[in-house]
Amino acid sequence: MRRPAPPLPFRPMVPRRLSGLLLAVLLAALPSCGAVVPLAAVNGVSLMVTGRAVPDLVVSGVTGRDCSVAYLDAKERYCRPEQVAVEQPRCTRSLGSVDCWTGPVPGNPPPREVGQVLPTAPREPWPERIL
């Protein structure tokens, strides 16, 4: 019986020179105490206007879904699943009843729907009377 091969040691994908530079850039990008107040103000304005924090808006824009931290508080997922549009049934008149169809309505041309009104010609206004 053959033994499985030992796992390979972890090797970073970034060369060592770049990893130190990347760490320095990340540390420099951290906000200082002076930058916290404007960021909090932007978040507050965003919450008042849209009802979502700035990170929620960014994630929602990137994914195209409805994402919010408030959903996690309600014990839901961070991003709500996409809504699937359900086709409304189309109802037509038949002899003595109404038939509803979810797919294409049979017939050529298809019959009018139940609430559909026939187009009428515009009515002429009352003739003017000369006294």
pTM: 0.41
Average pLDDT over residues 87-113: 82
71: pLDDT strictly greater than 50: yes
CA nearest 60: which of 73, 47, 49, 69? 69
Q: Label residue 14 by pLDDT band (50, 70, 90).
A: very low
pLDDT at 92: 86
| Helix residue spans in 1-131 (DSSP H) | 16-29, 33-50, 54-63, 69-73
Give dist(CA 30, CA 117) in Å, integer: 65
DSSP 99-118: EEESSPPPSSSPPPBTT---
Helix axes 54-63, 33-50, angle to 10 degrees: 60
Residues 112/91, Cβ–Cβ less than 8 Å = no
For the stretch 19-50, pLDDT in tens is: 566 666 666 666 666 666 777 888 888 888 88
User: What is the rounded CA–CA span in Å between residue 51 and residue 60?
Assistant: 13
Give pLDDT, residue 9. 59
pLDDT for 11: 52
Q: What is the mean pLDDT of residues 61-68?
A: 88
pLDDT tens digits, residue range 86-99?
888 888 888 888 88
